[in-house]
Amino acid sequence: MGCFGQVQNELKRRAIPPLVALITFCALAALYLEASWPTYRQVLGAWGVRAWPFPFLDTDTVLSAARCLREGADVYAFNPCDPEFRPYGYSPLYMLVLAHFPVTLWWIPWVGLTLFALFVWALWLLPAGRNRESVVLICIGLLSCATVLAVERGNNDLVNFALVAGMAALMGRSAIARLAGYAMGLLAGLLKFYPMLVMLSALRERPARFFAITAVSVVITIIAAAATWHDLVRAWSIVPEGSPIYEMFGAPNFGKGLVVLFGLPSGVGTAVRLIMTLAAFAIGIRYGLKPEVGAAMERLTNRERDFLLIGALMVIGCFMSAQNISYRTINLLLVLPSLTALRLVEAPRALKVMAWLAIGLLWAELLFHWIQAFAAIAGGTFGTVLEFGLGWLGREIAWWSMVTLLIACAAALIRPMAMVHFTLGLGGKR
């Protein structure tokens, strides 16, 4: 009976975040449908989200490209069907599939709602918070401006989030289930490129299976690249870049920000990015290989470890690859339950603060807007220092700290895997 009660409690704690998401976004949908659009825009603006006149703008980015592609337009050069006339810059695999369907404007709300349903399903797969406080922290992160932006825009990163969440949930199951998980991870990588890093989780497999998974993944990737190569190259060439100061995060930001703020040569930005990347990996791996970090990872459940590894790889790949709009911060939700668990076990202090750091980054855009407002009121030198010192520099330090710690977690989790031990000649541990 006690065991049954524990299972019931765990299911309740797992159910709360997706239920909170469902209630919150149903309330926003009701607000959009029943209230005026200016009211809807004001509510989202107070949340740190800039609303478009209709929801699921990013859903239409893909669907509009499919509509115009069927009409003969070169959407990789110019997409006249897009509300902002943006060229299509996502994976050509979407077009390879959608071009065969009669996509119309009526698809937008239904596909957007489907993406939201996938997101809620993925939230159900997350490890349960270990206690009431952990569940509250997970919900605070879930209700962040980054999450609201991703769902309101219907961005296709929700697809990747669901795929890698499904992958993580399958890692603790049978070999056949894990193969299905690797297929989901590979698909996420083919659709958005940076999630390909999650395939490192295959290092847990014994050599024969690992090499088979690697070989099949490489062959599928080559076939997909060959089938879409012309459009793939063009999609890569138009990956958007934004301001390193506002609304973006990623490894290029800090160096580019220094160039913009101090009028430095552009090469300085590239050098700063390279130095900080090498430093993050060197410090992160060294810290992750410390015995106390490995011991802390062992105090997590298998599900918490699997989500922490795959979520960490998602965030690292996303951060290191390019500049990113803030909705991609939702990848931190994959690791947040595990980070709240680290607060409750014996672990180094740096690991215990990661949950709060993740929550701060999920809310970073709204916090930055508040700092900008205070800076505008203060004015003068103090206002400038407040906006760029506390706001921009604080955000960059927080991101590089988080990524370095996630590299440490990934290193600690990968270290005992079978292929690592096989490579080192120690024999597989798992």
Whose tokens are 């390909």? That residue is 196
Residue 405 Cα to chain centre, angstroms: 16
Q: Does the pLDDT value for residue 7 go beyond 70?
A: no
Burial 195-215 (b: 16+ CB within 10 A, else e): bbbbbbbbbbbeeebbeebbe
Least confident of 42-56, 136-150, 324-338: 42-56
Contacts of 282 (CB under 8 A, 6+ apart): none
**Cβ 125 vs Cβ 166: under 8 Å:** yes
Whose tokens are 């800039």? That residue is 50
In a domain, 300, yes or no: yes
**Cβ 327 vs Cβ 153: under 8 Å:** yes
C-alpha count within 13 angstroms, C-beta hemisphere, residue 96: 15
Q: What is the mean pLDDT of residues 134-156?
A: 96
Question: How many domains, the chain?
Answer: 1
Determine the Cα–Cα distance for residues 142 and 147; give it in Å rounded to an integer. 6
Q: What is the mean pLDDT of residues 404-424?
A: 93
Torsional sign, CA 146, 149, 151, 155: negative
Q: In this predicted structure, what is the pLDDT of residue 91?
A: 87
In a domain, 182, yes or no: yes
Structure tokens, 231: 């459009």
> What's the pLDDT tens digit per position in 53-92?
889 999 999 999 999 988 888 888 888 988 888 888 888 8
Q: Does the pLDDT value for residue 121 go beyond 50?
A: yes
In a domain, 5, yes or no: no
Determine the Cα–Cα distance for residues 56 and 69; give it in Å rounded to an integer. 20
In a domain, 88, yes or no: no
Please name which of 190, 191, 195 lies closest in space to residue 218, comparing C-alpha atoms.
190
pLDDT band at residue 405 using 50, 70 and 90 as cut-offs: very high
Contacts of 419 (CB under 8 A, 6+ apart): 202, 203, 204, 205, 206, 207, 210, 428
> What's the pLDDT tens digit per position in 13-41?
999 999 999 999 999 999 999 888 889 99
In a domain, 297, yes or no: yes
Please name which of 382, 337, 271, 335 lies closest in space to residue 130, comparing C-alpha atoms.
337
In a domain, 233, yes or no: yes
Determine the Cα–Cα distance for residues 164 and 311; give it in Å rounded to an integer. 8
Q: In this predicted structure, what is the pLDDT of residue 429?
A: 46
Q: What is the mean pLDDT of residues 151-180?
A: 96
In a domain, 73, yes or no: no
Longest alpha-carbon distance in the chain: 68
> Which residues constitute the domain of residue 369?
126-423
In a domain, 19, yes or no: no
> What's the pLDDT tens digit per position in 295-327?
999 999 999 999 999 999 999 999 999 899 999
pTM value > 0.85: yes
